[in-house]
């Protein structure tokens, strides 16, 4: 069953997080079109559908953006549609990545609080 949000935006899920550094540990979250937020495979909570739709609409603008410039510490957003999965990867503190990517990432991070 496809959710209304997936139908409206064409996006099925958004994964995001960060990693690297001394430990090389990667922290990954996933927000699904049915408004569920996961950390790894554990469901953390449900996000308001209005907020989820907002985030998915922001992601829709970035689903074809190619950016892959990780460094020692990096952040990422992975936007999954029926056709493909687009991974945007940038270095911690990067000034070259599109501002919209940072805005979306920060908005996604607030859902984990």
Residue 85's DSSP bridge partners are 80
H/E segment holding residue 18: strand 11-20
Average pLDDT by stretches of 10, the chain with 113 residues: 88 97 95 97 97 98 97 97 97 95 98 95
**What is the DSSP track for 92-106?**
TT-SSS-HHHHHHHH
Dist. CA 16–CA 30, nearest whole Å: 6
pLDDT reported for residue 3? 87
Dist. CA 107–CA 113, nearest whole Å: 11
* pTM given for the model: 0.94
Dist. CA 58–CA 13, nearest whole Å: 12
């Amino acid at each position: 069953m496809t959710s209304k949000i997936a139908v409206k935006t064409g996006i099925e899920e958004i994964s995001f997080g960060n990693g690297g550094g001394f430990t090389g540990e990667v922290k990954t979250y996933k927000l699904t079109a049915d408004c569920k937020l996961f950390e790894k495979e554990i469901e953390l909570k449900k996000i308001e559908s209005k907020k989820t739709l907002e985030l998915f609409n922001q992601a829709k603008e970035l689903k074809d953006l190619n950016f892959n410039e990780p460094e020692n510490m990096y952040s990422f957003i992975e936007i999954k549609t029926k056709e493909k999965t687009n991974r945007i990867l940038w270095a911690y503190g990067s000034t070259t990545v599109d501002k919209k990517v940072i805005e979306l990432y920060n908005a996604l991070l607030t859902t984990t609080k």
